[in-house]
Structure 1
Amino acid sequence: MRIILVALMMLGAALPSRAQQTPPPDAIPVGTVRAEQKAISQNIEFVGRVEAPERVDVRARVKGYLEDVLFKEGDMIKAGAPLYRIESDTFEAEVKQAEGALQRSNAGYDLAVIQLRRAEELLSKNAGTVVARDQARALADQAKGAVTSDEANLSTAKINLGYTVISSPIDGRIGRTNVTVGNVVGPDSGVLTTIVSQDPMYVVFPVSQRELLKNAASENKADPRDISVRILFSDGVTYDQVGRINFIDVSVERTTDTVTARAVMPNPKGQLTDGQLVRVLLGTDKPETRIVVPQAALIADQGGVYVFIVEDGKAVMRRVKVGGESGPGSIIDEGLSGGEQVIVEGLQSVRPGAQVRATPASNALSGM
């Protein structure tokens, strides 16, 4: 009997303590998640354009009738592939004419050399005169000059004949043709077609001076070569390749106070198109440990942004400084140290100092 009495006394002593830990019946039910410390790579977003590293406007270098278009619009082509053929009969005739002129000048030079030798022999035997020798030498020099001139004319004629077949100077994708067979083309005809290289591609985007200064002043200053570059298409899909910054301009654009940066982006499947508008995401390969909370926990007023946390069964307001986004969560730079129970459900009824009954939030809000 004495043992039962002692047990009842101990149970009575424990009841007041348990009653103190249980929230009062009128406590506000809330859902909470813990402020987590995560290793994340924070991204900065810009708007950029895709540019081909090599872009060639194909033009005719000689004038003539266009005989053939030797490519299919939009195809990939190799350097040296023939694109257009211009009627070549006239240019072949010019080559033959230049060859004939060169033959005549070579024959004239050979004769002048023979005559110079005879004049020198006669002079050595006192049978000729110095004047005759000098005249023969001058004629030989003139004949040599004629040979040089005709050789140059023949080279020019052959070069022009070669220009009747217009070939691709680079590997890349070719655009549509601006001329068709039967038209007269020449140096004044404008661009016949355009070729752009495909892999890799450049992504060019402006970076504000504020971001550059912020990076320069940061303790974790990032080397541009360590910054990974990802891009998002206009439909929100993330490109599956990662690029690297390879160039930052040496001057600031005065009208926008930005510096042009350029990244090299692999394009093995040809998904990137020259001139395409994309969203550029920059992030470092060295993740930093940051505190992350669901975006649903953030409340804004005239004083800034704050969250409610649970301490001793009560709602406590904490002012925070948001440092960006990480997926569905927000990065907190100031105001939380990690591990706090942050309220994400039932916020419409919560007031500072209110008694709350905390339970884990639903997956829709707690998942980050």
Structure 2
Amino acid sequence: MNKHLIAIAVLGASLALSGCAEEPAQQSNQQHLQPIDVAEVLVKPVQNWHTYTTRLEAPEEVSLMPRVAGVIEQIAFNEGDTVKQGDLLFKLDARPYAAVVASLEAQVASAEAALSQAQSEAKRAVRLTERKAISTEQAESRTSMLQQREAQLAALKAQLIAANLDLEFTDIRSPIDGVISRANITKGNNVLAGQSVLTSIVSNQTMYAYFDVDERTWNHSFSQVAAADHQQVVMQKVGQSTFAHTGYIDFIDNQINAATGTLRVRARFDENTGLRAGSFARIKLAANDITEQVIVPDKAIGTDLKNRFVLTVGEGNILEYKLVTTGERYGSFRAVTAGLKAGDVIAVNGPARVGPGMPIAPNTVTLDTEGVAFTLSPTAQHTLMAKK
């Protein structure tokens, strides 16, 4: 009897120890589950972007050349300054031209005196002819002389106007508003009319950006766009992380370039905050159609050979492999056009530390999209709701 009691006691102790051992093991397995950030996918109204490279151009650009020859007497601007139309930039030695003006003024005065005498003789000839005191031939000669004096005076006055213009052109003024470059020719040097480039000026209040859109893209996404619509665009300069400059399309060429299969388009930027002609830039143009698409962090998407996938959280917090088709990128987020639906929960950081089939300890986080532009303008996000 004692032997049976001892056996039962030993068996009970063994079962108790076994149960105690299994419970810590289960707790240990739960404690070793990988904690992973997860979030529910977003659904946002978005537009498809098209990006083009370009260089900025000034609407007005002048290579300043003198209209008359002469020696530079004064440079009246600071290099790199902003100038206004009509500002004095260079002054040439005006004395030779002033002398020509003075000479012609004297010749005009002499011609006016000669004309006055010819007018008097012509009037006298009319009276004498009526009394038959002079011959008709003499009267006609005086009339002809009057006409010659009138023509000579008119020619001299025209020469005087031209001479005054030449004198005026010795003051070389800015033909446009803009930013002036350095002086290519300095004080004391002789310059030639229409040949010597003194400096250059570019307008700076507005900038143009020309870019070429391929025919297929234009017909698919922008066929209804007209220049008068002022289709909005955004621009990013070299070294910038965001598309900080907003402009609009103000010119669309009248034909497709048959050699390249592209259409020339121009964007205009009126608010010039540090834009310079010749700068390299990237233009983003958005299609008019606004659609709702699933949005996920770009880092949540993994690559498997030619496929793209995300890891979704399934039953029992087991990660599942989901093939996806991706669309446009918006900041640190990307649109998913196929493979996910609203309500799906994904591993935010992708397959960096985990893989499909793994159980995880989910840590739910919120996807922050503040400051991310999913449409070209903030008001465009309401367009989708208005259409519904």
TM-score over 0.5 (shorter chain): yes
1-structure distance, mates of 2:244, 2:348 = 33
Instruction: Name the structure 1 match of 2:250.
Output: 246
2-structure distance, mates of 1:31, 1:237 = 27
Contact 1:242–1:265 (CA under 8 A) maintained in structure 2: yes
Q: How does 1:61-140 map to 2 (within 5 A)?
A: 61-140=67-146
Contact 1:42–1:326 (CA under 8 A) maintained in structure 2: no
2-structure distance, mates of 1:122, 1:346 = 117
Q: How does 1:188-227 map to 2 (within 5 A)?
A: 189-216=195-222, 225=229, 227=231
Instruction: Name the structure 1 match of 2:296.
Output: 293
Q: What are the Cα deviations for residues 197-249 of structure 1, in whole angstroms up to 9, with x where unaligned?
A: 111222222323332133047xxx66663633222221124364421111122
Instruction: Name the structure 2 match of 1:257.
Output: 261
The CA deviation at 1:356 is 3.6
The CA deviation at 1:30 is 5.1
SS at match of 1:350: coil
Contact 1:228–1:282 (CA under 8 A) maintained in structure 2: yes
Compared CA separation, residues 123 and 223, structure 1 to 2 (3 A):
closer
The runs of 5 or more residues in structure 1 that have no matched partner are 1-23
1-structure distance, mates of 2:301, 2:291 = 22
Equivalenced residues, count: 337
Instruction: Name the structure 2 match of 1:15.
Output: none
Correspondence 1:334 to 2:354? no
Q: How does 1:14-29 map to 2 (within 5 A)?
A: none
Share of identical aligned residues, percent? 26
Instruction: Name the structure 1 match of 2:3.
Output: none
2-structure distance, mates of 1:182, 1:78 = 25
1-structure distance, mates of 2:225, 2:358 = 46
Contact 1:42–1:325 (CA under 8 A) maintained in structure 2: no
The CA deviation at 1:360 is 3.3
Which residue identity is paired with 1:43? W
1:360 pairs, out of 352, 359, 363, with 363
2-structure distance, mates of 1:222, 1:307 = 37
TM-score (norm 2): 0.78
The CA deviation at 1:191 is 1.2
Q: What are the Cα deviations for residues 52-88 of structure 1, in whole angstroms up to 9, with x where unaligned?
A: 1111111011111110100000001111110000001
Correspondence 1:276 to 2:279? yes
Contact 2:301–2:350 (CA under 8 A) maintained in structure 1: no
SS at match of 1:246: strand
Contact 2:310–2:350 (CA under 8 A) maintained in structure 1: no
The CA deviation at 1:28 is 7.6
Which residue identity is paired with 2:159? N
Compared CA separation, residues 267 and 288, structure 1 to 2 (3 A):
same
| Structural RMSD (CA) | 2.7
Instruction: Name the structure 2 match of 1:236.
Output: 240
Correspondence 1:175 to 2:166? no
Instruction: Name the structure 2 match of 1:307.
Output: 310
TM-score (norm 1): 0.82
1-structure distance, mates of 2:225, 2:168 = 52
The runs of 5 or more residues in structure 2 that have no matched partner are 1-28, 370-388
The CA deviation at 1:302 is 4.7
Task: Indicate the larger mover: 49-58 or 79-88.
Answer: 49-58
1-structure distance, mates of 2:279, 2:337 = 35
Contact 1:200–1:266 (CA under 8 A) maintained in structure 2: yes
The CA deviation at 1:290 is 2.1
Compared CA separation, residues 76 and 285, structure 1 to 2 (3 A):
farther
Which residue identity is paired with 2:310? V
Instruction: Name the structure 1 match of 2:379.
Output: none
1-structure distance, mates of 2:257, 2:176 = 31
Which residue identity is paired with 1:113? Q
Compared CA separation, residues 239 and 100, structure 1 to 2 (3 A):
farther
SS at match of 1:236: coil
1-structure distance, mates of 2:304, 2:311 = 13
The CA deviation at 1:124 is 1.1
1-structure distance, mates of 2:92, 2:144 = 43
SS at match of 2:308: strand
Contact 1:40–1:326 (CA under 8 A) maintained in structure 2: no
Task: Indicate the larger mover: 130-139 or 90-99.
Answer: 130-139
The CA deviation at 1:316 is 4.2
1-structure distance, mates of 2:350, 2:251 = 50
The CA deviation at 1:261 is 1.9
1-structure distance, mates of 2:361, 2:231 = 41
SS at match of 1:242: strand
Which residue identity is paired with 2:330? S
